Structure 1
Amino acid sequence: MSASLREHPAPALFSPGAATALLDAYRPATDRFLASPGHTLLGRGTAAEIPHGSGPVAHRVRDVLDALRRPGAPAPVVVGSLPFDPGAPPALAVPDMVHWAPPLREDPLIALPVARDEHRPDWRVREVPSPERYGEAVAAAVARMRAGEFDKVVLARTLELTSAREPDLPAMLRRLARRDPDGYTFAVPSGPGRTLVGASPELLVSRRGGRLVANPLAGSAPRSADLAEDVRRAAALLESAKDLHEHAVVVAAVREALAPFCARLEVPERPTLVRTAALWHLSTTVTGDLSDPSVTALDLASALHPTPAVCGTPTDVARAVIAASEPFDRGPYTGMVGWQDADGDGEWVVTLRCAEAEGRGLRLFAGAGVVAESVPEAETAETAAKFRTFLHAVGADL
């Protein structure tokens, strides 16, 4: 069924299993899959690609979608990802056909176990940088912040996984979706021969009609298998001065970026908690009413990106620290992934808990927000916890 979001049939018109059917139908290279708490999307084929250029990507998307409008037909939809570096080429395309279904979390079949993979790759793992080098970079950043040079930086590291055979991306996607059906699961082409696959916990921004929602996350703690300990960690996170400060910096930046677009903007005074399979996060849900109905979801996402949750503050200084500290190109990591239709409605998610697949290799990414109160060992442990979501999905638990 092809439709824009506003033209979705009532959920009752979908048969049970519609969402998992789209999940099971995903094929790498030609398909684009996105699942969120609101819906499931599968795009097939490519009708048009968004070109690279010097102007705002939101304008190029608008031009391509407007050119593809047809009277009486559903609004065309662009799907894909944008990199951390706003000047790098996007990986956005308009599919030939878009299929929609209710969210995976409402599909009774999502709870069924995934068939055991008897042929998982034998992964070789290389850490870039090593935990020791990463800790040194965190310590150096903390020293500069205590000297008053800047307020926050998000430092990342990667795991490079290689195997004798190519990974089974559809199976990987199914495991990610079943591990956390309340999150944002995705698999989209990210460049020639490359696929971006992941399960992010964080909505950057969504727009439906004149209403927007943003859900910044910053400040986290690892989950525990012991219920009492898990509850203790959640309670401690809500009272952590370091994490509350880190979260407040991000929320303030989101408020500042969105306020010029809004006739009304509501920002709760204190964060709440959200959980994934591996982590607790501090969360604030920001809502607003647009003052200009022509502002699109990607206009809003571009105004927000990069938030201090993935870069730091001040932004220019944090970018320079990231470039000097990280011995790799982030590519799509901490960019955004999502969709937008020709009416301007859409949903963009921060590209976290992800990997980029190319040939027989996978590169996993994870980062931690570093502030003046940060402890290198704790930030290194946080990145390790974030890696676990994806390591579980690829069968390379370390």
Structure 2
Amino acid sequence: MDGFLLSRPDRTLRTTGTRERFDNTDAAADALASARTDVVVGALPFDPAARAALTAPETVSWTPGPWHPETTPPLPRVRIEREIPSAAVHVERVRGLIERLRRGELDKVVAARAVQLAADEPISPETLAARMVTRHAAANGFALDLTAAGPGYVGHTLVGASPEILLSRRGRTVTCRPLAGSAPRRADPDADRAEGAELLASSKNLAEHAFVVEWIRDILGPLCVDLDVPVAPELTRTGELWHLASPIRGELRDPSVGSLELATLLHPTPAVCGTPTARALDAIRELEGDRRFYGGAVGWCDGVGDGDWIVAIRCAEIDADGTTALAWAGGGIVAASDPETELDETTTKLGTLLGALGVDAREPA
């Protein structure tokens, strides 16, 4: 894929071409500060120590509303080839993490798993993104080339439709809407409403959400003249899940602090990593290895510092020839978590991407 796509409910950003590539945020920020480019687009990896995939594009275009491509070609037949790890191993990992949480080693950690997909013919990233945006109109659809991250990423693309905004910045105003704590949607309307109400009253999920909100408060508080953080979260929903969400808004003290710098400071939040952050990161590296760009951030920053950064969840990385992809999903683990319930949550979350490919997330590998 040549370019970058971010489809949000209010407007869509599309870029083409590459004038310059950056594998770290300092180099990208320098290009913006020196006016070598008016905008930087791309992705930050989950692990802050890994290489970013940021570019200065050749052309930039904005259109109102979500992306509506003129045509959406059919996608090839896709199947789940392998689970990474198996469901049984994931459950055992979660069980081990709960033991560590109960010993006080961690307050929260996010455990993720992936499925490797195989396609009969190349998967078009733009077609998959179009399908996901159509199916999830309120989400933030994205597709981008990861080549700037260097060897191992050349020709790879990241595609997804995320419900979570890491941050938006317009002038001095910065807004966040973290999601943490979730429950499955139900087909029966009464059961569905009851599921949402139960989530809103769940001490386990409220505690998980509070870790994320406090992290954002600690990062943004010193940077803002005023920071409005709700006392309690609100309910929000996707087609598959109820979530707890907290709209946060602040006014920056220093207008030179741009969205790219803010994204670097905030990411990864406890919503995708855990807390304390360093210990959670170490646990994830130990158990899962490299998450690549899953759980990272996708977005843009312009020359005055405005921008949007979306949490890279409900996504897949497609390889260079388009016939293999990895799709991830994770869930926040706290001391009160149940391993089997956490496994079911990852399966439900995988459904956002797999459903667009016509694959049943519960299909055995």
Shorter-chain TM band: over 0.9
Give the aligned residue type for 1:130: S
Paired residue for 1:227?
Answer: 189
| Equivalent residue number for residue 25 of structure 1 | none
Measure how far apart 1:51 and its partner are.
Answer: 4.3
Partner of 2:30: 63
8 Å CA contact 2:90–2:113 kept in 1: the answer is yes
| Aligned counterparts, 1:39-58, within 5 A | 39-52=11-24, 57=25
Give 1:267 shift. Answer: 0.2
Secondary structure of 2:134's counterpart equals helix
Superposed structure 1 runs of 4+ greater than 6 Å apart: none
Cα distance in 2, alignment partners of residues 220 and 362 from structure 1: 26
Secondary structure at the counterpart of residue 301 of structure 1:
helix
Within-5 A mapping of 1:1-398:
29-52=1-24, 57=25, 59-68=26-35, 76-104=38-66, 117=74, 120-191=76-147, 192-326=154-288, 328-358=289-319, 359=321, 360-397=323-360, 398=363
- Secondary structure of 2:146 counterpart: strand
Pick which of 221-230 and 335-344 moved more.
221-230
What amino acid is aligned across from residue 99 of structure 1 in structure 2?
A: S
TM-score normalized by the length of structure 1: 0.85
1:16-66 Cα shifts (integer Å, max 9, x gaps): xxxxxxxxxxxxx212100123320100111221244xxxx2x32221123
- Which amino acid in structure 1 is aligned with residue 307 of structure 2? G
Aligned partners of 1:150, 1:385: CA distance in 2, in Å?
A: 25
Go from structure 1 to structure 2 and tell me whether the alpha carbon gap of 1:51 and 1:331 turns closer, same or farther (over 3 Å shift). closer
3-state SS, counterpart of residue 34 of structure 2: helix
How far apart, in 1, do the equivalents of 2:112 and 2:87 lie? 11
Sort the Cα spacing of 1:122 and 1:309 in 2 relative to 1 into closer, same or farther, 3 A: closer
User: Once the two structures are superposed, what CA deviation does each residue of 1:215-257 show, in whole Å capped at 9, x if it has no partner?
Assistant: 1110001112221211111111101110001001110111001
Percent identical among aligned pairs is 44
What CA distance in whole angstroms lies between the structure 1 residues aligned with 2:78 and 2:349? 21
1:170 Cα shift? 2.2
**Using the alignment, how far apart are the partners of 2:8 and 2:231 within structure 1?**
26
**Shift in Å, 1:122:** 4.0
How many residue pairs match? The answer is 353
Using the TM superposition, give the Cα deviation of residue 67 of structure 1 relative to its aligned residue in structure 2, in angstroms.
3.3
Distance 2:155 2:247 in 1: 36
Q: Tell me the secondary structure at the aligned position of residue 123 of structure 1.
A: strand
Shift of the 273–323 alpha-carbon distance from structure 1 to 2, 3 Å rule, reads same
Q: State the one-letter code of the partner of 2:30.
A: D
- Matched-pair contact (CA < 8 Å) for 1:137–1:325: yes
TM-score of the aligned structures, taking structure 2 as reference length:
0.93
Between stretches 141-150 and 194-203, larger displacement belongs to 141-150
Distance (Å, rounded) in 1 between the aligned partners of 2:348 and 2:100: 26
Q: Which runs of 5+ in 2 are unaligned?
A: 148-153
After TM superposition, the structure 1 stretch with the greater mean CA deviation from structure 2, 165-174 or 263-272, is 165-174
**Separation (CA, whole Å) in 2 of partners of 1:180 and 1:189:** 22
Farther-moved stretch of structure 1 (358-367 vs 165-174) = 165-174
- Whether the aligned pair in 2 keeps the contact of 1:124 and 1:163 (CA below 8 Å) is no
Q: Which amino acid aligns with 2:342?
A: E
Change (3 A) 1:124 1:385: closer
What is the rounded CA distance, in whole Å, between the counterparts of 1:157 and 1:372 in structure 2?
19
Listed one character per residue, the Cα deviations across residues 159-210 of structure 1 (whole Å, up to 9, x for unaligned) are: 0011332113222111100111111110001131100000111110111001
Contact 1:61 1:78 in 2 (8 A): yes
Deviation at 1:136, TM superposition (A): 0.4
When Rg is computed on C-alpha atoms for both structures, the one with the higher figure is 1
Structure 1, unaligned runs of 5 or more? 1-28, 70-74
